[in-house]
Amino acid sequence: MTIPVSKNDIADLDIIGMTHDGEGVGRVEGYTLFVQGALPGERARVKVLKVKKQYGYAKLLELLEASPDRVEAPCGIYKQCGGCQLQHMGYAAQLRWKRQHVVDNLVRIGKLHVAGQEAGAGAVAADADGADNAGNAVEVIVHPTIGMDEPWRYRNKAQVPMGMGPGTLVTGAADGPESQRLIGGFYARGSHRIIDMDSCLIQHQHNDDVIAHVKAIGRELGITAYDEETGRGLLRHVMTRVGFVTGEIMVVLITNGQRIPNAERWIERIREGIPNVKSIVQNVNTRKTNVIFGDETRLLWGSDVIYDELDGIRFAISARSFYQVNPVQTVALYRKAVEYAGLTGSENVIDAYCGIGTISLFLARQAGHVYGVEIVAEAIEDARRNAALNGIENADFEAGAAEIVIPRWRKEGIVPDIIVVDPPRKGCDPALLETILAMKPRRVVYVSCNPSTLARDLRVLEDGGYRTVEVQPVDMFPHTGHVESVILMVRK
Ligand code: SAH
């Protein structure tokens, strides 16, 4: 087609959708323009920034009609920071959009029929597998997103890049020689320029306090920040994690090199300023890379783990282990996964991609036996330690790739009644899906952080003899475009 707009054109658009990056989607004569900051249902005057073959980008100049869902973003740095994408949308509308985002993927990629969903543009006609005996399409129930009562300050973990620069954005700072000082905050949207930050509204208050304190001490002791360009300077990132239930705090200093000048003094000052700190850890990363952590982790002071509790189960969490960042919603998510597993106390359950055994231990309380598998060896050590910590004896863990370990379990004669999967964003390995189909568990419970790979995998399982019954989106990451969901499938 011919592209109906050119760079720098001004156009008026109806915004008909939104991407998971929070960009409004508009059309000019069938050509798609992405508009940062515009909401579905709005009419916007935009200036075209960039034109590509299939789509382009435009800048919002003026709202001709505003959405009733539009709100003033509560955070003062929302526009500069890339961390949140949906703060300009009211929370109830965010929850509705997240559900719809899941539905759209299930229909478009998964070719599923969703109850209450108009057979519109993306929907497909019923086929043999999607029909019941009467020939009617079997419909999937997608529940409203489970949101938070208080969707702020929900994160237990902060990873803050450090740099040298001019003071804080909020309080301002003097120019002159003092202006090159240790700062830490966030990368400006779409760049690697670090902007100083005092407060992040989605972080637990303790994390804000810890970061502020560590920065202040760093300045006092003349600590330098790592410079991406030159590869010089010491401090790359500060990571902090707080147990919501226990209040225990871990501080991780990620450094470019082994030696920390004045290390003793630093540790002492951190302990003075942060009474709940239980663990101070150094991670060494000397590589020129965007990856935050290096391979070497050393304990500077205290314990190598902090503890937290989810629904009465205690977890030891080490610096490098995956642990869900929103503990309040994690409990809602895991309870739903256990409910969908439909356990009576005797079942064999496999928990694939089990991390430190969180879902496994929730399941073990109600199952006969749980087998957890996870690729990170340290996480499996944590999982075993966590089972012992809670006196749970009916869970076994093995380190390895799910798609390799589970086929072997099959050969060894393990017969699961239920398989739970919680893969990373790229979804399940095809070899794992094949093994699930061969093992024929009664139910599959799929926990997903990515609706598009979820929909792709559900289609494979549907074609192999499973039916998608229910989908429960859970808002783990308010004000961001991320959508988590848990799905129940049963064998037809
Ligand atoms: N269920 C856990 C972890 C989910 S995150 C929880 O809720 O806390 C996904 C996990 O999958 C990560 O721990 C990651 O290390 C692991 N992983 C990634 N690829 C894997 C693979 N091929 N086999 C097994 N585990 C894998």
What band does 120 get if pLDDT is binned at 50, 70 and 90? very low
Going by C-alpha positions, the residue among 420, 419, 418, 474 that lies closest to residue 451 is 474
What band does 191 get if pLDDT is binned at 50, 70 and 90? confident
Atom of ligand 1 nearest to the CA of 330: 7
In sequence order, what DSSP letters do the residues of 349-399 get, joined into one string? EEEES-TTTHHHHHHHTTSSEEEEEES-HHHHHHHHHHHHHTT--SEEEEE
Say whether pLDDT at 180 is over 50: yes
Tokens of 484: 């988590």
Q: Are 163 and 225 in contact (CB under 8 A)?
A: yes
Q: Are 238 and 150 in contact (CB under 8 A)?
A: no
- C-alpha 81/C-alpha 163 separation (Å) is 16
* SS3 readout for 291-353: CCCCCEEEEEEECCEEEEEECCEEEEEECCCCCCCCHHHHHHHHHHHHHHHCCCCCCEEEEEC
**Identity of the amino acid at 208:** D
Q: What CATH class is the domain 157-310?
A: mainly beta
How high is the pLDDT of residue 179? 62
Angle at 437 between CA 358 and CA 134, to 5 degrees: 110
- C-alpha 174/C-alpha 484 separation (Å) is 44
Say whether pLDDT at 121 is over 50: no
- H runs (alpha helix) in 125-168: none
Pairing of strands 43-51, 157-165: unpaired
Rounded distance from Cα 245 to ligand 1 centre (Å)? 24
Give phi and psi for 185, each to the nearest 5: 180, -100
Q: How many CB atoms lie within 10 A of CB 390?
A: 18
How high is the pLDDT of residue 14? 97
Q: How many CB atoms lie within 10 A of CB 141?
A: 13
> Is 449 among the residues known to form the active site?
yes
How high is the pLDDT of residue 332? 98
Q: How far is CA 49 from the centre of its chain?
A: 30
Residue-wise pLDDT tens digits, 140-153: 999 999 999 999 99
Rounded distance from Cα 424 to ligand 1 centre (Å)? 6
Angle at 143 between CA 470 and CA 75, to 5 degrees: 135
Helices and strands of the chain, counted as H and E runs: 9, 22
Say whether pLDDT at 118 is over 80: no
Residue-wise pLDDT tens digits, 382-411: 999 999 999 999 999 999 999 999 999 999
* 379 CB within 6 A, ligand 1: yes
How high is the pLDDT of residue 67? 97
CATH 3.30.390.30 matches 10-65: no
User: Can you tell me the mean pLDDT for 265-272?
Assistant: 94
How high is the pLDDT of residue 296? 95
- C-alpha 113/C-alpha 252 separation (Å) is 47
Going by C-alpha positions, the residue among 451, 474, 313, 336 that lies closest to residue 19 is 451
Please, what is the angle between helix 430-439 and helix 451-463, to 10°? 40
* 359 CB within 6 A, ligand 1: yes
How high is the pLDDT of residue 131? 52
DSSP state of 226: P
Say whether pLDDT at 171 is over 70: no
Tokens of 173: 């700072």
Going by C-alpha positions, the residue among 426, 430, 434, 374 that lies closest to residue 405 is 374
Tokens of 45: 């005057």
User: Can you tell me the mean pLDDT for 221-245?
Assistant: 95
Those residues whose C-beta lies under 8 Å from the C-beta of residue 120, and which sit 6 or more positions away, are: none
* 164 CB within 6 A, ligand 1: no
* 401 CB within 6 A, ligand 1: yes
Going by C-alpha positions, the residue among 62, 70, 75, 84 that lies closest to residue 39 is 70
Say whether pLDDT at 126 is over 50: no
Say whether pLDDT at 177 is over 50: no
Tokens of 469: 């019954």
Run of H or E including 97:
helix 91-108
Rounded distance from Cα 484 to ligand 1 centre (Å)? 15
Atom of ligand 1 nearest to the CA of 333: 7
The predicted model scores a pTM of 0.91
**Identity of the amino acid at 244:** F
Q: Do domains 10-65 and 157-310 have the same CATH topology?
A: yes
User: Can you tell me the mean pLDDT for 108-127?
Assistant: 68
CATH superfamily placement of domain 128-148+325-491: Vaccinia Virus protein VP39 (3.40.50.150)
- Sketch the domain layout of the chain as residue ranges: 10-65, 128-148+325-491, 157-310
Higher-confidence residue of 134 and 236: namely: 236
Residue-wise pLDDT tens digits, 22-41: 999 999 999 999 999 999 99
How high is the pLDDT of residue 309? 97
Its sign, for the CA torsion 98, 100, 105, 111, is positive
- C-alpha 316/C-alpha 383 separation (Å) is 9
Higher-confidence residue of 252 and 379: namely: 252
* 424 CB within 6 A, ligand 1: yes
* Three-class SS state of 204: coil
How high is the pLDDT of residue 135? 47
**Beta pairing partners, 164:** 182
Atom of ligand 1 nearest to the CA of 360: 1
Q: Which of 2-6, 286-290, 471-475 has the highest mean pLDDT?
A: 471-475
What band does 183 get if pLDDT is binned at 50, 70 and 90? very high
Q: Are 399 and 375 in contact (CB under 8 A)?
A: yes
Residue-wise pLDDT tens digits, 196-219: 998 999 999 999 999 999 999 999
If you search the block for the tokens 């929909």, which residue do you land on?
A: 455
Tokens of 450: 């990515």
* 222 CB within 6 A, ligand 1: no
Rounded distance from Cα 61 to ligand 1 centre (Å)? 43
Going by C-alpha positions, the residue among 439, 434, 378, 386 that lies closest to residue 411 is 439
DSSP state of 251: E
**Best probe residue, ligand 1, of 241, 311, 322 (max atoms within 8 Å of C-beta):** 322
